Amino acid sequence: MEEGTTSSSVLPAPDRDIFSHSGPLHLTHIDWKNFHHRRSIAASLVQGVRVLEFDRQQNRQGQQAHAPEWWEFFHFQLVCPLIDVDNSIFGAIYELKLSGLDNSAQIVPRFVIAFRGTIKMQASLPRDLKLDLLCVCNKLHESSRFQIAMQAVQNMVTLAGASNIWLTGHSLGSAIALLAGKNMVKMHSYIETYLFNPPFLSVPKEIIPNEGLWQGIHLANTVIRVGLARVKGLYRIQRPKQFDQVTNQVTALLSLWVPYLFVNPGDHICSGYIRYFEQRKSMTEKLPEISSESSFSNADSESLHLLPSAYLTINLGSTPDFKRAHGIHQWWDPNFDGRSEHYSR
């Protein structure tokens, strides 16, 4: 979350907007095979979108603009910004301008499509908050912002191929990237995706302080959900057989897509992913007769925030308050301390 106001005059940028003050200056040599480098670059490109919108609202142009530093340092150029109906910049398409790179392992992206999160600035906050609400209600796909984003992703896949593109986003922007990635999977296109502090739309743990009760509720919920899925299987008359076949195919396709999720335990917006994947793993171990395939139901595949597979990275470092736990800067910290695990269906 960022604070700011709109003005017709040029306003000075806070240090967090200026790459030379808060960016990953330690990455003077990029090793694209290094996961930490790729994470830092993806996060920086998201920050570039945020600062691009700050520049617009605060009338910073030319030499006074701070956004270009966030992509030029990594040899990207801005192809075009993505603009919503309120004229706010919510995304950007970048192109990597380096020749002679080995892309045989499909590690180096040719293009990156990045989406920012909510920012507290007068000109864009009402629209951002409306989209936050749509996200909570699982209706983000109905928004013009998502439709613009989805069209951009489809166009770039047609132009360059899914293997040459990255998707990345932070907070609300990660929800857009996640939904766009899911939709492309249904079209048999798998895009490498980096999701920072993605919203997990569930009841936060803070309102259920007893650890045992919390775990019991989640385990019971999972078992009930699996049980309902089995009941639906016994009574096919309730739904056309073709519907079940389609949803099973979607779930199978999604299981092959493994986005990178970056979460912080101190951020209640995204921390639910930690328990979501741990609970699925625990359920499979405690109830081996329920396969991991059954633990991800067809209904889950239609929920924005739920995934059958992911690389989950948890920030284990100290983030003393929510603002820093939810912030984008933590993900390029040279002293980053985290744990990553691959979860698959």
Q: 217 — phi, psi (to 5°)?
A: -65, -45
**In the chain, which ranges are E strands?**
76-83, 89-96, 111-115, 165-170, 192-196, 260-263, 310-315, 338-343
Position 8 pLDDT exceeds 50: no
**pLDDT classification of 229: cutoffs 50, 70, 90:** very low
Mean pLDDT of the 94-119 span? 83
Give the pLDDT of residue 268.
Answer: 95
**pLDDT classification of 87: cutoffs 50, 70, 90:** very high
Position 213 pLDDT exceeds 90: no
Q: Which amino acid is present at 50?
A: R
Residue 259 DSSP class: -
* Domain parsing of the chain, residue ranges: 1-196, 204-257+269-309+334-345
Position 287 pLDDT exceeds 50: yes
Position 151 pLDDT exceeds 70: yes
Residues above pLDDT 90, as percent of the chain? 65
Pick from 303, 300, 296: which is nearest to 175 by CA?
303
* Backbone torsion region of residue 171, taken as left when φ is above 0, otherwise alpha when ψ lies between -120 and 50, otherwise beta: left
How far is the C-alpha of 24 from the C-alpha of 18, rounded, in Å?
Answer: 11
Mean pLDDT of the 193-220 span? 63
Beta strand 192-196 pairing with 260-263: parallel
Inter-residue contact 267 to 325 (CB < 8 Å)? yes
Q: Which amino acid is present at 335?
A: N
Position 33 pLDDT exceeds 70: yes
Query: Which pTM value belongs to this model?
Result: 0.83
Angle ∠(213,339,176) on CA atoms, nearest 5: 80
Q: How far is CA 167 from CA 121, 134, 248, 335, in A?
A: 25, 21, 25, 25
Inter-residue contact 96 to 76 (CB < 8 Å)? yes
pLDDT digit string, tens, across residues 297-342: 555 556 777 899 999 999 999 888 999 999 999 999 999 999 999 9
How far is the C-alpha of 234 from the C-alpha of 211, rounded, in Å?
Answer: 35
Pick from 13, 47, 31, 114: which is nearest to 329 by CA?
47
How far is the C-alpha of 55 from the C-alpha of 99, rounded, in Å?
Answer: 30
Determine the 3-state secondary structure of 308 from DSSP: coil
**pLDDT classification of 238: cutoffs 50, 70, 90:** low
Inter-residue contact 14 to 80 (CB < 8 Å)? no
Pick from 311, 283, 293: which is nearest to 251 by CA?
293
Mean pLDDT of the 91-98 span? 95
**pLDDT classification of 6: cutoffs 50, 70, 90:** very low
Inter-residue contact 264 to 323 (CB < 8 Å)? no
How far is the C-alpha of 82 from the C-alpha of 152, rounded, in Å?
Answer: 8
